[in-house]
Structure 1
Amino acid sequence: MMRVNAQWTGEQGAPYFTTVHFGGEETNANAQDAASRFAVFLNTIKAMYTNKLTVQVNPTVLFVNPETGVAFDAAATSTGPATGTGSDGLLPPANQGMVRLGTSSYAGGRAVRGRLFIPGPTKGYDTDGKPYPAYRSALKTAAETMIAGAAADGAPFVIWSSPREATNKLPARDGFISNVTTADTWTQWAILRSRRD
């Protein structure tokens, strides 16, 4: 699988880091497609985060064995930064938009799901302490576009379930990836305390 990292700078508590994963064959071309897809997503939603934040996808995309989580190679990519355009005043920095990611996979009897947090929401997208419907719709649409485009590229957007060592109650398990098939947004603000100061 391919691991794409992005760094957010310019606001209280920054830098923030976002990590996402893509499947498909680990090639330079697919790595560029993956980095570009995520960069386009971040640029598409720039109105949803403060103009004090700039996010840059790391040019180095890691090739990682999903079973072990160990990187075995890397590819150099190129994408431009995205700077937010929200100017209504920042909500508390711990507040995050959250995209809920769904798959058709199950592990241990539970559906495999993921979350993608978007920092820097502004007061203009808050209504009664909750994300405004237009904010949620914009995130959902952008995420769905990224998911569909990545699948068409042959480097699908995936959730990585990390490997697990054996415990007294659970057997060991290799890591694995699951293709993301759906995206939705939470009706509440998510809270990431590590991004509050």
Structure 2
Amino acid sequence: MVLIYQTRTIFTGVDGAPYFNNLYFRDRAVEDPFIGAQAATVAFWTSISASMSNNCAIQVQPDITVLEDDTGEIQGSVAIPSAAFGGGQSGNKLPPATQLFANLKTGVYVGGRQIQGRIFVPALTVDSSNQGQPTASAVLGLQNACDTFEVGASPDVQLVVWRRPRPGTLLDPLPRAGLAADVNAAIASSKFAVLRSRRD
């Protein structure tokens, strides 16, 4: 069992809002992982906010939820100062379904499949698009933001992908424990994600 720390960021002020992002961290044997998790989250979204619409309000929420990775059981919540800022682009907005994304690789395999995740960046403008693909500067900006999760930039906490626990079912009667796997590479994609749930 590993304790993991969940941060939540909410995005408002643009079409398709609100958007939500949850990130999960484990501590690196430091005294206060709550501040570390909040700081790592703020550093990421501050870095990539330059590619987002200036109509978008970004707020990292003022509480950190503590969970057990294997059961998903909440162990508590700690209040911490929130952080609020906005995007930096003034161009016309892209469709809400069109977002930047980064792949989170762990190198941890269970049942022959790698535990991996993604981070999506909403509220984009035409400044980040060139002939239907992300501009090189937008991709670089996202990669730079991803690099804020590296050990040297975020020494207090480790970003993880959380594979949630799952109860047994009729088709698959064996329950599955949750697992937090360390992210060893966060890679910005050179293509847009198209989120079907955000299509109008």
Counterpart residue number, 1:123: 126
CA shift in 2, pair 1:47/1:146, >3 Å: same
CA shift in 2, pair 1:149/1:37, >3 Å: farther
Counterpart residue number, 2:147: 144
Separation in 2, partners of 1:40, 1:152: 13
Given that 1:96 and 1:190 are in contact with CA atoms closer than 8 Å, whether structure 2 keeps it comes out as yes
The CA deviation at 1:32 is 1.4
SS in 1 for 2:183: strand
Could you tell me which runs of 5 or more consecutive residues in structure 1 were left unpaired when the two chains were aligned: none
SS in 2 for 1:156: strand
Write the letter of the residue equivalent to 2:86: T
TM-score by length of 2: 0.90
Given that 2:104 and 2:185 are in contact with CA atoms closer than 8 Å, whether structure 1 keeps it comes out as yes
Q: Do residues 78 (structure 1) and 81 (structure 2) align?
A: yes
Identity fraction in percent: 31
Over the aligned positions, Cα root-mean-square deviation in angstroms equals 1.9
Given that 1:166 and 1:173 are in contact with CA atoms closer than 8 Å, whether structure 2 keeps it comes out as yes
Deviations 1:79-110 (A, max 9, x none): 42120011121111111100111112111111
Aligned counterpart for 1:183 among listed residues 174, 182, 186: 186
Separation in 2, partners of 1:147, 1:21: 14
Deviations 1:52-87 (A, max 9, x none): 101111111000111111211111111421200111
TM-score by length of 1: 0.92
Separation in 1, partners of 2:152, 2:78: 20
Q: Do residues 194 (structure 1) and 200 (structure 2) align?
A: no
Given that 2:28 and 2:155 are in contact with CA atoms closer than 8 Å, whether structure 1 keeps it comes out as no
Write the letter of the residue equivalent to 1:19: N
Counterpart residue number, 1:17: 20
Write the letter of the residue equivalent to 1:192: L
| Number of aligned residues | 196
Deviates more, 1:82-91 or 1:140-149: 140-149
Given that 1:63 and 1:72 are in contact with CA atoms closer than 8 Å, whether structure 2 keeps it comes out as yes
Counterpart residue number, 1:49: 52
Write the letter of the residue equivalent to 1:193: R
SS in 1 for 2:184: strand
Separation in 2, partners of 1:5, 1:81: 12
